[in-house]
């Protein structure tokens, strides 16, 4: 089993939206590196830290679990969708998505500042300079440190 961090802007989809919906499809990934993680590496049962970006404060706010592995992101086929990509064809889709289900919301969000201040987390991609990937893998111990920080 692997561990991931997914970013979402709470204005478009927050941890509370996921809590309400119980599960959702993670659509709109339009970056090849993120696409490769989704298509090739993300497996059912993997755990995902849910991160609020462009938020106040920016923070990891909860955990969800992968319940369905990569399948074509059909918003790419829909000219009405903001994620429409005419280069993605039904018979050979460019973009994929996964389904996640809500696990739990942190009692206390773990803010970006706290993560930056924790020397044990200095290698997490979240704090790398210029990191713009919307999802990426994290180590098991990084996952566990952040969970522990949310319980303090």
Partner DNA sequence: GCCAACGTTGGC
Contacting positions for DNA (CB under 7 A): 7, 9, 30-33, 53-55, 58, 112-113, 116, 126, 129-134
Q: At which residue do the structure tokens 């992968």 appear?
A: 66
Distance in Å, CB of 115 to DNA, minimum: 10
Distance in Å, CB of 129 to DNA, minimum: 6
Phi-psi bin for 2: left (phi > 0), alpha (psi -120 to 50), beta? beta
Taking the least distance from each CB to DNA, the nearer of 74 and 111 is 111
Distance in Å, CB of 72 to DNA, minimum: 18
Taking the least distance from each CB to DNA, the nearer of 14 and 134 is 134
3: CB partners within 8 A, 6+ apart:
46, 47, 48, 49, 137, 138, 139, 140, 142, 143
Distance in Å, CB of 31 to DNA, minimum: 5
Collapsed DSSP state (helix, strand, coil) of residue 29: coil
Taking the least distance from each CB to DNA, the nearer of 44 and 62 is 62
Taking the least distance from each CB to DNA, the nearer of 41 and 54 is 54
Q: How many angstroms separate the CA atoms of 55 and 76, rounded?
A: 27
Backbone angles phi, psi at 117, to 5 degrees: -80, -10
Distance in Å, CB of 82 to DNA, minimum: 9
Taking the least distance from each CB to DNA, the nearer of 32 and 104 is 32
Q: How many angstroms separate the CA atoms of 76 and 82, rounded?
A: 9
């Amino acid at each position: 089993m692997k561990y991931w961090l997914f970013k979402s802007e709470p204005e478009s989809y927050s941890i509370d939206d996921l809590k309400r919906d119980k599960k959702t499809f993670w659509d709109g990934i339009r970056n090849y590196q993120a696409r490769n993680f989704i298509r090739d590496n993300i497996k059912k049962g993997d755990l995902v830290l849910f991160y609020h970006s462009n938020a106040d404060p920016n923070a990891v706010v909860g955990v969800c679990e992968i319940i369905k592995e990569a399948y074509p992101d059909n918003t790419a086929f829909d000219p009405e969708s903001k994620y429409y990509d005419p280069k993605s064809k039904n018979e050979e889709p460019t973009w994929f998505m996964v389904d996640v289900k809500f696990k739990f919301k942190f009692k206390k969000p773990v803010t970006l500042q706290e993560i930056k201040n924790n020397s044990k987390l200095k290698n997490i991609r979240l704090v790398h300079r210029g990191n713009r990937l919307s999802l990426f893998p994290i180590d098991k111990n990084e996952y566990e440190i952040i969970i522990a920080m949310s319980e303090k």
